[in-house]
Amino acid sequence: MDVKLRVWRQAGPEAPGAFEEHEVTGVSPDMSFLELFDVLNERLVDEGREPVAFDHDCREGICGSCSMMINGRAHGPERGTATCQLHMRKFADGAEITVEPWRAAAFPVIRDLVVDRSSLDRIVEAGGFISAPTGSAPDANLILVPKEASDAAMDAAACIGCGACVAACPNGAAQLFTAAKISHLALLPQGQPERYQRVQAMVDTMEEMFGSCTNHAECEAACPKEISIDFIAMMNRDYLRAQLKNRRLLAQRG
């Protein structure tokens, strides 16, 4: 199959960018979308031209680095799929495909399709630590966790931090990412000691860099792990509780 690519090229954060068109022929339907870019870049190098810069690592839908906006959709047309898991058979022969970097104020472009997503790291860093007693290992199953809680925690922990939720949101909000990172600890016993300090610190950090959530639910639709916006409701509820609990703690210490 043959495809026509319109790829965003930008030499650096301050440089002007523009779309560049490429005809890629002899594409196998079984190629992943990233393998398509491997083929394109090999041809560009052979021609003595600069290859397209794009993020990738595991190529197994785990690392979250394969951030591409494909035909206006984060990670492309298939739901619940990262870019590295998207195969060319999802496109028609002769298709015209537009590829851009994440478009969000909190994700400045570094080069071509590569953006700086370190703002997500700062949210995680704000979460601090969990209190874990040291010493000999406790007996197995000493702390009982309801199956519903463990299942929900696993669903939240599936977040790979790709930033698709931010890129898809009309407001450039990071509520789904933040809620997932907060909730997978808030649902388990290990996350309880710092639960309310954690949610306040992470939400406050998020608010400094990202837009506000207005319940468009585009984040849930774009998420390659299909994480539910129910976690946003859980985060908001905990944040409101944190306002009261943390004030009481400060009052007691003062």
β-bridge mates for residue 87, sequence order:
32
Is the domain of 230 the same as that of 249?
A: yes
Are both 97 and 210 inside the same structural domain?
Answer: no
- At residue 8, the 3 state secondary structure works out as strand
Domain boundary, last residue among 110, 137, 161: 110
- Name the pLDDT band for 11 (thresholds 50, 70, 90): very high
First to last CA, the chain: 70
Over range 134-148, report the average pLDDT.
80
- Tell me, what CATH number does 146's domain have? 1.10.1060.10
Same domain, 127 and 246: yes
Q: How many domains are contained in the chain?
A: 2
Which of 110, 127, 151 is the endpoint of a domain? Answer: 110
Strand ranges (E), the chain: 3-10, 17-24, 69-70, 73-74, 96-100, 109-111, 114-115
The range of the structural domain enclosing residue 185 comes to 118-253
Residue 96, beta-bridge partner list: 4
What is the tens place of the pLDDT at every residue in 189-243? 989 999 999 999 999 999 999 999 999 999 999 999 999 999 999 999 999 999 8
pLDDT at 246: 67
Mean pLDDT of all residues belonging to the chain: 94
- How far is 56 from 114, CA to CA, in rounded Å? 10
Please, what sign has the CA dihedral across residues 74, 75, 78, 82? Answer: negative
Pick from 110, 137, 170: which residue ends a domain? Answer: 110
| pLDDT of the residue at 137 | 74
pLDDT, position 253: 60
Q: Do residues 81 and 191 both lie within one domain? A: no
Structure confidence at residue 254 (pLDDT): 55
Q: What is the pTM of this model?
A: 0.92
